[in-house]
């Protein structure tokens, strides 16, 4: 790999990665992109676990979905960038943990976060998250994406399925007035998610934050102002107990 060099005007030049036996062309392009990404460099300087943290920072700076005292669920949390931002902005700490995170991938513990190493699609996962909350959530956010296959349409549909499951969960655990944020891949099938969100929230926004790479098909859907569950006895009050008679939630 060539090092970062300075041009005659002191400007940093692009890092080029030398070819290496065993390294594919796609992995070489990924490595070059990482080395030249200002958000990657910034995340290392500022102590964030991933460049994705800046996507949430930029979204929240514009739409103000996180505030001190709020409770947050982070779906697909690894490696923890979004949880770090949430901890800072809602004032979560080990004395009063306000952020609950889940991912089937390994993730180091974070102060102020209740962490589950578990697949969100497991039948008992939603109930575990709700119990950890000790009530209802102010914000549910999902950066979940299915492992890519290289086939864009298949990847899109698999991620949309995760979005739909996350929406169902949010509808069951959010307080009235709460917010839901999710990543989607553009491809057409996201219209089903949009329809569902418009039924349950007062406003829905398409967002492409600056930290999202221009060439990426990802965008974010932000649904603000949860209208409340129609089957809830009192939409003005958060309930601490699930509806289901056995105490669990099912999609």
Say if residue 32 is in the same domain as residue 54.
no
Output the pTM of the full model. Answer: 0.78
Average pLDDT, the chain: 82
pLDDT digits (tens, 9 = 90+) for 2-33: 444 444 444 444 545 455 555 565 555 544 55
Strand 113-117 to 137-142 pairing: unpaired
User: Residue 147 falls within a domain, yes or no?
Assistant: yes
Domain with 127 in it: what CATH number? 3.40.50.150
- Provide the pLDDT confidence category of residue 99 given band limits of 50, 70 and 90: very high
As annotated, the binding site for S-adenosyl-L-methionine includes 80, 82, 103, 119, 143
In this structure, are residues 5 and 13 in contact, taking their beta carbons and an 8 Å threshold? yes
**Residue 37: pLDDT over 70:** no
Say if residue 16 is in the same domain as residue 120.
no
Say if residue 115 is in the same domain as residue 183.
yes
The predicted pLDDT at position 130 comes to 95
Say if residue 113 is in the same domain as residue 189.
yes
Query: Which residues constitute the domain of residue 5?
Result: 1-36
User: Residue 161 falls within a domain, yes or no?
Assistant: yes
User: Residue 249 falls within a domain, yes or no?
Assistant: no
Which residues does 40 contact at the CB level (< 8 Å), separation at least 6? 34, 51
The predicted pLDDT at position 57 comes to 97
Say if residue 82 is in the same domain as residue 174.
yes
As annotated, the binding site includes 80, 82, 103, 119, 143
User: Residue 243 falls within a domain, yes or no?
Assistant: no
Report residue 127 as tokens: 């109930």
User: Residue 115 falls within a domain, yes or no?
Assistant: yes
pLDDT digits (tens, 9 = 90+) for 205-247: 999 999 987 878 888 999 999 999 876 554 444 333 333 333 3
User: Residue 166 falls within a domain, yes or no?
Assistant: yes
- Give all strands of the β-sheet with 174-185 in edge-to-edge order: 113-117, 99-103, 72-75, 137-142, 174-185, 218-226, 201-207
Buried b / exposed e across 196-233, counting CB within 10 Å, b at 16+?
Answer: bbeebbeebeeebbebbeeeeebebbbbbebebbeeee
The predicted pLDDT at position 243 comes to 36
The predicted pLDDT at position 2 comes to 43
User: Residue 208 falls within a domain, yes or no?
Assistant: yes
Say if residue 120 is in the same domain as residue 58.
yes
**Residue 173: pLDDT over 90:** yes
- Tally of structural domains, the chain: 2
Say if residue 132 is in the same domain as residue 68.
yes
User: Residue 185 falls within a domain, yes or no?
Assistant: yes
What are the E-state strand segments in 193-247? 201-207, 218-226
**Residues known to be catalytic:** 183
The predicted pLDDT at position 26 comes to 53
Say if residue 17 is in the same domain as residue 91.
no
Say if residue 31 is in the same domain as residue 105.
no
């Amino acid at each position: 790999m060539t090092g970062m060099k300075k041009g005659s005007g002191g400007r940093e030049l692009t890092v080029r990665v030398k070819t290496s036996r065993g390294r594919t062309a796609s992995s070489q392009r990924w490595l070059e992109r990482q080395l030249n990404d200002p958000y990657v460099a910034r995340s290392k300087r500022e102590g964030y676990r991933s460049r994705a943290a800046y996507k949430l920072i930029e979204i929240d700076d514009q739409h103000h979905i996180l505030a001190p005292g709020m409770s947050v669920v982070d779906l697909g949390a690894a490696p923890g960038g979004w949880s770090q931002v949430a901890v800072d902005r809602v004032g979560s700490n080990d004395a009063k943990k306000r952020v609950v995170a889940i991912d089937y991938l390994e993730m180091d513990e974070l102060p102020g976060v209740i962490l589950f190493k578990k697949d969100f699609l497991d039948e008992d996962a939603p109930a575990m998250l709700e119990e950890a909350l000790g009530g209802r959530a102010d914000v549910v956010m999902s950066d979940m994406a299915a492992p890519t296959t290289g086939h864009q349409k298949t990847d899109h549909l698999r991620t949309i399925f995760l979005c739909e499951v996350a929406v169902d969960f949010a509808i069951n655990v959010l307080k009235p007035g709460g917010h839901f944020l999710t990543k989607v891949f553009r491809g057409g099938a996201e219209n089903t998610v949009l329809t569902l969100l418009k039924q349950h929230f007062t406003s829905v926004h398409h967002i492409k934050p600056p930290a999202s790479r221009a060439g990426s098909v990802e965008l974010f859907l932000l649904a603000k102002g949860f209208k409340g569950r129609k089957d809830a006895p009192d939409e003005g009050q958060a309930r601490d107990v699930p509806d289901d008679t056995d105490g669990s939630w099912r999609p």
